[in-house]
Amino acid sequence: MDGATNYREIWNAKPVLRAIYGDIYRRMMTSIAPGLTLEVGGGSGNFKSFAPDTVTTDIVSAPWIDVTCDAQRLPFADCTFANVVMVDVLHHIEFPVRALKEFDRVLKPGGRLVMCEPAITPVSWVFYKLLHPEPVDMSADPLQDGTISPDKDPFDSNQAIPTLLTGRDRLRLAQAVPGLALARLERFSFAAYPLSGGFRPWSLIPAFAVEPVLAAEWAMRRLFGPIAAFRLLAEYRKNA
């Protein structure tokens, strides 16, 4: 069974997971502009149920994926989309700066890039470093470029990349991709996500508790986000 199919089966069988990601999708929807949306890294194909006017892509083919392609080489014309969205994708891309330049290219003037990714904070670092299978390397250069490897495992990752691009290397990114400006950055998710087990079959939080916990977490994001958030939500806008 391939990864996307396995994730889709877990999604269908796990109401806690659907509630947590549904909350993320709804918050992302508040940032997108009217018009056609491109989803990068569609995975198990869940975002489209929230935003039907979406072209879903992934580097791995699946029946629910519209276009199979690499985010670093998108097969779309310039200024095609009003939005580019992705969830848990950027930190898997071999050279993120190449993908960001592609997003800038395919977005219309005034378009939005909206993404939800891991946030590395003092609290989440312990969980991601010790209890999560994906690596965290805060010393990496997220703007490194090179030759795209045809043999790269699409699930290779560095969970630190989004935190570096929106934090330490924010100004360098603005110079490398001047067409995209960071308009909004939220750090959120403190308990529900790690307790849910993510796309693992287990969960330590009951389904009835997810909604009130998520609401409380969002209300406390400004106070606790910088030190305890597990997620970041970033909105970039393409210059008009």
Average pLDDT for residues 124-146, to the nearest whole number? 94
Assign residue 92 the CATH number of its domain.
3.40.50.150
The confidence band for 143, taking pLDDT boundaries of 50, 70 and 90, is very high
Average pLDDT for residues 157-167, to the nearest whole number? 98
Determine the length of the chain: 240
High-pLDDT (> 90) share of the chain, %: 89
Helix (H/G/I), strand (E/B), else coil: 33? coil
Tokens representing residue 162 in the block: 């989004």
pLDDT of residue 2: 63
Written as one string, the DSSP assignment of 136-198 is --TTS-TT---PPPTT--TT---TTHHHHHHTTTHHHHHHHSTTEEEEEEEEE-SSHHHHHTT
pLDDT of residue 1: 47
Q: Does the pLDDT at position 49 exceed 60?
A: yes
pLDDT of residue 64: 94
* Lowest model confidence (mean pLDDT) among 43-47, 156-160, 169-173: 43-47
Q: Does the pLDDT at position 93 exceed 80?
A: yes
Q: How far apart are the first and last CA of the chain?
A: 44
pLDDT of residue 3: 66
Domain extent for 74: 3-238
pLDDT of residue 54: 97
Calculate the alpha carbon distances from 202 to 83, 129, 193, 197, 205 in Å.
Answer: 34, 20, 12, 6, 9
On whether the CB atoms of residues 190 and 224 are closer than 8 A, the answer is: yes
Backbone torsions φ then ψ of 148, nearest 5 degrees? -65, 130
pLDDT of residue 35: 97
Number of structural domains (the chain) is 1
What's the whole-number average pLDDT of the chain?
95
Average pLDDT for residues 205-228, to the nearest whole number? 97
Q: What is the value of pTM for the model shown?
A: 0.95
